Structure 1
Amino acid sequence: MFSIRELTEITGLGRTSLYSEIKRGYLRPLRIGRRTIVPADEVRAWLQRRAAEPQGSD
């Protein structure tokens, strides 16, 4: 499982971009108390979907 902070380091995306991905439903996190955690298998699937997108797509 990864925290949002860990995902910013791994992906190079900022917090705002990651929360935008969550809001759009592209990345599905878990809430544990006040923390937002993303399971590793969800991160892998999300990264694969992003890699498969045509360039210039948002």
Structure 2
Amino acid sequence: MNDKKRLNSYEDLPLVLDVADIQRIMGISRASAYELVHTPSFPAFRRGRLINVSKIAFFEWMAKGSETVLRSDK
């Protein structure tokens, strides 16, 4: 995804995200984005040297994480 492009909606995102997309969506540093994609529970996959994430899997992962946080607060 082009670094200059603003992310205005879910539909604006490509079907397959890269580390830079994850960084921009989450508002985290490049190092944090790479640390995240190497986390065992994160839905990343490799295509050669590139690390990619399905847009659907990424948002499902985020939703599942937020449910866990909400449940632990009770």
TM-score of the superposed pair, with normalisation by structure 2: 0.59
Segments of structure 2 that go 5 or more residues without pairing to the other structure are: 1-15
Question: What's the counterpart of residue 24 of structure 2?
Answer: 9
RMSD (Å) for aligned C-alpha atoms: 2.2
Larger Cα-atom Rg: 2
Matched, 1:30 2:45: yes
What one-letter code is carried by the residue in structure 2 that aligns with 1:25?
A: P
1:39 CA displacement: 0.6
Paired residues in the alignment total 56
Percent identical pairs in the alignment equals 20
Q: Runs in 1 of length 4+ with deviation above 6 angstroms? A: none
TM-score of the superposed pair, with normalisation by structure 1: 0.71
Question: What's the counterpart of residue 45 of structure 1?
Answer: 60
Segments of structure 1 that go 5 or more residues without pairing to the other structure are: none
